Amino acid sequence: MARETWATRAGFILAAVGSAVGLGNIWRFPFITGQYGGSSFLITYLAFVALIGFPAILVEFVIGRRTDRNPVGALRELGSGAWSYVGWLFVVTGFIILSYYSVVAGWFLRYTLIGLTEGFTITDPAEASALFGTVSTGLDTLLFHAVFMTLVIGIIAAGVRRGIELSVKVMVPAILLLLLGLAVYGFTLDGASAAYSYYLSPDFGTIAANWTEILPAAAGQAFFTLSLGMGVMITYASYLGEDRNLASDAGIIAALDTLVAVLVGFVVFPVLFTVGIEPGTGGPGAIFVSLTSAFAGIPGGRAIGVVFFGMVGIAALSSAISILEVLVSYLIDEVGVARIPASVALGVAVFLLGVPVTIDLIFLDLYDLLADGILLVLGSLLLSLFVGWVIPDIAREELRKGIADIGGLGDAWIWAVRIPIVIVVVVSLYLGIVDYADFLTGSFADWLAAR
């Protein structure tokens, strides 16, 4: 059977934007922007997306389009020796990320439902934390995890055109519209002007004083939010024809993803400032605890809350499908399994791996710090080294297809991939490993000892 391809250029771009725009933009971005000082983080992050993220998307695009394969097959075709096994890393990373991503997405579905049925009435932070406690673990959490994975499996089982492409053509415009509406609403709130100055007037002194923390955090966020380092963009580009201009597609994708993250700040910060909550405080539950109490205290909060949490659910779905597609494309291409059984089998396996996260949040850290802090970064590092040093000529030639006049762009790109990206990624990787070792010997060891 012939391999499927995207029906339209817009389909490919929307699928890639759908993958990029997700919990990373909405759950993680406002939280770490708050943690690292608002505007100072924002400007560093913007610079990283342009200088590091954009060339790194192209690294995955050229590999995928060149080989028309899943990441495991693609690396085996292009690389020899140890390189041919790098694709396996992506399979492992994809399993881990999707397993907890689905649990967290389930929290958003649950909050949407709470808004619809009961509204947001809790203003006391302690009570809001207690509510988060009941949403984030337990049997109900397991149920919402199952519901979310069922949706993901359903879309992927339907195929590239009828599943992914069709669904993102609805989901991505919906996310953008809802978010624009919410940002306009944010503008009308009392806290808007304080929020804008917090968010938009960068303080270069703060950046200079804290660069050892801000730079790796911004780099990590740039890779995560662009879905880099685990073969998603390889897989999506493998369904592309030869005539597309990869550089302009990558530019559109990076720009839309960034626009969404920035707009989320225009929603979340005015809401928080209006009710007097400090941005960037408190763990993975932060956005739930602070926003539910904020929605209880602002005009129209219930409707706004439902739209907000529902929009995040949609954004998470359009990202989650891209992760399952990496795994499924491997089984289809390499093992010859049909799409529907491959989607169901892998989706169920991912669901099972996520079960511990629904029981104790320590597993969220155990998975996230490993996958996000180490495996994704390692994946990006290996891909950059591979494209920059092992196959630069093939990569340059692949980039040139579909571009009328590439000028010096190809060489500039290869050099960006060879040195600056590698340096940034190595530093981030080192910090990620140190963090994970701290976690394993600290919180996790304590947790085990308490069993």
Question: What Rg value do the Cα atoms of the chain yield, rounded?
Answer: 21
Q: Alpha-carbon distance 426 to 420, whole Å? A: 10
Identify which of residues 176 and 194 has a Cβ nearer to ligand PHE in the complex: 176
111 or 224: CB nearest ligand PHE: 224
Write each residue from 94 to 123 as x if it is in contact with ligand PHE (CB under 6 A), else as -, in one continuous string. ---x--------------------------
Q: Of these, 224, 273, 330, 386, which contacts ligand PHE (CB under 6 A)?
A: 224
Stretch near ligand PHE under the rule CB under 6 A, chosen from 80-88, 162-170, 208-216, 318-326: 318-326
Torsion of CA 35, 423, 257, 87, to 10 degrees: -120
Residues whose CB falls within 8 Å of the CB of residue 358, separated by 6 or more in sequence, listed in order: 103, 137, 138, 141, 142, 145
Q: What angle do CA 261, 97, 265 make, to 5 degrees?
A: 15
Residue (23 or 49) nearer to ligand PHE, CB = 23
**Which residue, 224 or 266, is less far from ligand PHE as judged by CB?**
224
Least distance between ligand PHE and beta carbon 16 (Å): 10
If one asks whether residue 24 binds ligand PHE (CB under 6 A), the answer comes out as yes
DSSP, res 163: I
Task: Give, in degrees to the nearest 5, the angle at Cα 99 between 93 and 103.
Answer: 145
Among the listed ranges 219-227, 237-245, 328-336, 410-418, the one in contact with ligand PHE (CB under 6 A) is: 219-227
Question: What is the smallest separation between the CB atom of 2 and ligand PHE, expressed in angstroms?
Answer: 26
Query: Does 225 engage in binding with ligand PHE (CB under 6 A)?
Result: yes
- Residue nearer to ligand PHE on the CB measure, 94 or 191: 94
C-alpha–C-alpha distance, residues 110 and 309, integer Å: 9
Q: Is 84 exposed, middle or buried (0-12, 13-18, 19+ CB in 10 A)?
A: middle
- Of the listed pieces 17-25, 195-203, 279-287, 345-353, which binds ligand PHE according to CB under 6 A? 17-25
Among 12, 25, 284, 298, contact with ligand PHE (rule: CB under 6 A):
25
391: amino acid identity, one letter: I
- End-to-end alpha carbon distance in the chain: 52
CB neighbours (10 Å) of residue 117? 7
Residue position matching structure tokens 């399979």: 91
Q: Does 19 bind ligand PHE (CB under 6 A)?
A: yes
Distance CA 53, CA 50 (A): 6
Report, in Å, the least distance between residue 405 CB and ligand PHE: 32
Q: Does 319 bind ligand PHE (CB under 6 A)?
A: yes
Helix axes 211-225, 39-48, angle to 10 degrees: 50
Kindly determine how many residues on this chain lie close enough to bind ligand PHE according to the rule CB under 6 A.
15
Q: How many CB atoms lie within 10 A of CB 362?
A: 16
Distance CA 263, CA 184 (A): 10
Spacing of C-alpha 267 from chain mean position: 19
Per-residue x/- track, 172-211, ligand PHE (CB under 6 A): ----------------------------------------
Counting Cβ atoms within 10 Å, is residue 176 exposed (0-12), middle (13-18) or buried (19+)? middle
Residue 227 in the binding site for ligand PHE (CB under 6 A):
yes
Query: Which one of 103-111, 202-210, 225-233, 442-450 is the stretch in contact with ligand PHE (CB under 6 A)?
Result: 225-233
CB of 22 to ligand PHE, least distance (A): 2
Q: Considering only residues 155, 232, 291, 382, which one is a binding residue for ligand PHE as defined by CB under 6 A?
A: 232
Instruction: Please state, in angstroms and rounded to a whole number, the distance separating the CA atoms of residues 87 and 79.
Output: 10
How far, in Å, CA of 295 to CA of 290, rounded? 9
**Who contacts 282 (Cβ-Cβ below 8 Å, separation ≥6)?**
289, 290
User: What is the rounded distance in angstroms from the CA atom of residue 43 to the CA atom of residue 221?
Assistant: 13
Select the residue interacting with ligand PHE from 14, 16, 17, 20 (CB under 6 A): 20
Q: Which stretch binds ligand PHE (CB under 6 A): 19-27, 33-41, 210-218, 391-399?
A: 19-27
Q: Work out whether 322 is an interface residue with ligand PHE (CB under 6 A).
A: yes
230 binds ligand PHE (CB under 6 A): yes
Span of 15-23, 127-135, 167-175, 242-250 interacting with ligand PHE by CB under 6 A: 15-23
22 binds ligand PHE (CB under 6 A): yes
Q: Of the ranges 49-57, 270-278, 306-314, 319-327, which one interacts with ligand PHE (CB under 6 A)?
A: 319-327
Closest distance to ligand PHE from the beta carbon of 191 (Å): 26
Q: Is 53 helix (H, G, I), strand (E, B) or coil?
A: helix
Among residues 236, 237, 235, which one has the least CA distance to residue 87?
A: 235
Which residues in this chain contact ligand PHE in the complex, by CB under 6 A? Answer: 19-20, 22-25, 97, 224-225, 227, 230, 232, 319, 322-323
